[in-house]
């Protein structure tokens, strides 16, 4: 190979290596300048997921509190029915112990439960979308609540609603002095309590899964900054090694250029 060709190859090598070094330097600058933005965006995303999970948990707890209120109301009706079992013909006593207001309270409580579940359904949908995006990131796995978390409970609430309608009808029969009405009211209240138990069991199971999601998000939020800086450091080492090798290549090319 002629000296001129050797010089041309050496210059070409130096230029290419210089471009590689420049690109690596730009990559390093970009990696470190974007670290803060990645941390901010990631923290906001995780925070949004945590707020959504907390809101959903609060929604489920709200339903549970209303179930407690419903149980208190049905217990009051049960106690009143026990007092009326021997005095069902006493219309005045029936109106005192089983007034229409008790029926309205049962209906209002079921309505409040449905409203709480509707709000929880909207929160769940948003939460799952956020968690799905987080879960799509490399090396990240976050347990998600089941999509039917709310709908499964809502189906049982419809059963509860039917039981309450039946209870209201039996209470009206009691006020009309219908034979055996006291026992019918007691049986209807038993159906309501069974439905409440089913809903609470469903809520407890879903709440446990949601707690696992919250714990996972909390752990991820704590470790997220470390992994961001670790990734940036890894990129720095890779680019640094490439720059180092290209400097060696340039030194070798310069030596070849001088001896050509």
Residues 213, 131 contacting (CB under 8 angstroms): yes
Alpha helices per DSSP H over the chain: 3-84, 91-97, 100-135, 149-175, 181-259
Q: Which residues contact 214 (CB under 8 A, 6 or more apart)?
A: 50, 53, 54, 57
| CA gap 66, 71 in Å, rounded | 9
Residues 198, 159 contacting (CB under 8 angstroms): yes
Domain total in the chain: 1
| CA gap 184, 247 in Å, rounded | 93
pLDDT (tens place) for every residue of the chain, 260 residues total: 567 777 778 888 888 988 999 999 999 999 899 998 999 998 999 999 999 999 999 988 999 999 999 888 888 888 877 776 665 555 665 665 667 788 888 888 888 988 888 888 888 888 988 888 888 877 778 888 888 877 888 888 888 889 888 888 888 887 777 666 778 888 888 898 999 999 988 888 888 889 999 999 999 899 899 989 999 999 999 999 999 999 999 898 888 777 76
Structure confidence at residue 87 (pLDDT): 57
Give residue 69's domain range.
3-141+150-259
Q: Which residues contact 32 (CB under 8 A, 6 or more apart)?
A: 232, 236
Give pTM, 2 decimals.
0.76
């Amino acid at each position: 190979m002629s000296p001129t060709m050797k010089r041309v190859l050496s210059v070409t090598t130096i230029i290419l290596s210089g471009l590689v070094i420049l690109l690596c330097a730009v990559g390093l600058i970009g990696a470190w300048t974007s670290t803060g933005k990645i941390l901010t965006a990631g923290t906001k995303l995780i925070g949004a997921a945590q707020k959504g999970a907390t809101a959903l948990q609060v929604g489920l707890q709200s339903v549970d509190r209303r179930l407690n209120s419903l149980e208190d109301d049905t217990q009051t009706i049960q106690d009143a029915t026990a007092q009326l079992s021997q005095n069902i013909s006493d219309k005045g006593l029936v109106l005192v112990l089983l007034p229409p207001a008790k029926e309205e309270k049962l209906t209002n409580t079921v309505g409040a439960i449905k409203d709480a579940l509707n709000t929880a359904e909207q929160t769940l949908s948003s939460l799952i979308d956020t968690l799905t995006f987080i879960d799509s990131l490399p090396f990240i796995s976050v347990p998600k609540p089941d999509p039917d978390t709310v709908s499964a409970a809502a189906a049982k609430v419809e059963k509860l609603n039917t039981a309450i309608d039946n209870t209201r009808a039996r209470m009206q029969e009691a006020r009309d002095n219908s034979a055996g009405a006291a026992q019918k009211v007691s049986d209807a209240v038993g159906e309501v309590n069974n439905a409440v138990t089913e809903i609470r069991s469903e809520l407890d199971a879903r709440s446990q899964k949601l707690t696992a999601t919250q714990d996972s998000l909390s752990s991820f939020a704590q470790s997220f900054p470390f992994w961001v800086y670790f990734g940036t450091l890894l990129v720095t080492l890779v680019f640094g090694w490439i720059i180092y090798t290209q400097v060696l290549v340039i030194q070798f090319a310069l030596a070849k250029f001088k001896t050509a």
